[in-house]
Amino acid sequence: GEDVEQSLFLSVREGDSSVINCTYTDSSSTYLYWYKQEPGAGLQLLTYIFSNMDMKQDQRLTVLLNKKDKHLSLRIADTQTGDSAIYFCAERVEDTGRRALTFGSGTRLQVQP
Amino acid sequence: DTEVTQTPKHLVMGMTNKKSLKCEQHMGHRAMYWYKQKAKKPPELMFVYSYEKLSINESVPSRFSPECPNSSLLNLHLHALQPEDSALYLCASSQKGGQGVNEQYFGPGTRLTVT
């Protein structure tokens, strides 16, 4: 199966850390991505992780991958009001030849001032 | 420049109209994609073009007709749409359709309303 699941909503206070979680079912996933979508806009690629990595850090963003549990998370340090958006995780499975992304349902992050 | 542009930004059309959505990128990418996104849902893949050839059609109804005139342009021709086709249509591109990280860059989308 290729279902990718996320919790629907997360609310945090400005300055706190946010952790957005994602679970996927296809163990053949090669790359996993995090995208951000602000209201009425397209998707912005935030970061990605290769399936043979456990962690990747990029400024305020930390991605953790637990391949055994098929669990992916995105941690945003020092969350700002500008981080309010919907966050999608996505997986790509190379060996199917699809080369396309399967998106999770999206998590709406609300940052309270 | 990591920009993908889409026109128009908004489109309202009747069920008997014919219209086209346009997408352009100048990053030298050789793979381009159309996605459909309904409100509060994730994007769903419609079509993939790789080196200007259609490589994936996700069982999309024939009232949607994609076209890739050259490596920078991607069109989506619309004809006899239904109100349930109202959605945000997103275009994306990636360096190539092959192996590797293959980051997809998305345009801002065209908000389509079918009346």
- Single-letter code of the amino acid located at B88: L
Q: Does B31 touch chain A (CB under 8 A)?
A: yes
Residues in A closer than 8 angstroms to B6, CB to CB, are 42
On the question of a cis peptide bond just before residue B66, with omega within 30 degrees of 0, the verdict is: no
- Residue B5 token pair: 């542009």
Name the B residues in 56-115 with CB < 8 Å from any A CB. Answer: 56, 90, 92, 97-99, 101-109, 111
Q: What is the DSSP letter of B62?
A: T
A→B contacts (Cβ < 8 Å), by residue, are 31, 33, 35, 40-45, 48, 50, 88, 92, 94, 98-101, 103-106
Residues 6 or more apart whose CB falls under 8 angstroms from that of A59 comprise none
Contact A104 B42 (CB under 8 A): yes
Q: How far is CA B94 from CA A84, B26, B29, B105, in A?
A: 26, 11, 5, 6
Contact A42 B106 (CB under 8 A): yes
Nearest to B25 by CA among B103, B86, B81: B103
Q: Is pLDDT of B96 > 80? A: no
Residues 6 or more apart whose CB falls under 8 angstroms from that of A16 comprise A79
pLDDT band of A98, cuts 50, 70, 90: low
Contact A100 B90 (CB under 8 A): no
Residue B85: phi and psi, rounded to 5, are -85, -5
Interval B27-41: pLDDT, tens = 999 999 999 999 989
Give me chain B's average pLDDT, please: 91
* pLDDT > 70 in chain B, percent: 94
Residue B108: phi and psi, rounded to 5, are -75, -15
So what's the pLDDT on residue A43?
A: 93
H and E: helices and strands count for chain B: 0, 11
* pLDDT > 70 in chain A, percent: 90
Interval A40-88: pLDDT, tens = 888 999 999 988 889 999 999 999 999 889 999 999 999 999 999 999 9
Q: Is pLDDT of A102 > 60? A: yes
* pLDDT > 90 in chain A, percent: 66
Residues 6 or more apart whose CB falls under 8 angstroms from that of B24 comprise B4, B5, B6, B72, B73, B74
So what's the pLDDT on residue A1?
A: 40
- Residue A41 token pair: 């806009």
Contact A105 B41 (CB under 8 A): yes
- Out of A31, A42, A98, closest to residue B109 by CB: A42
Give the number of A-B residue pairs with CB atoms closer than 8 Å: 55
Interval B55-91: pLDDT, tens = 888 889 999 999 999 999 999 999 999 999 999 999 9
Residues in A closer than 8 angstroms to B98, CB to CB, are 99
- Residue B73 token pair: 């342009």
So what's the pLDDT on residue A97?
A: 53
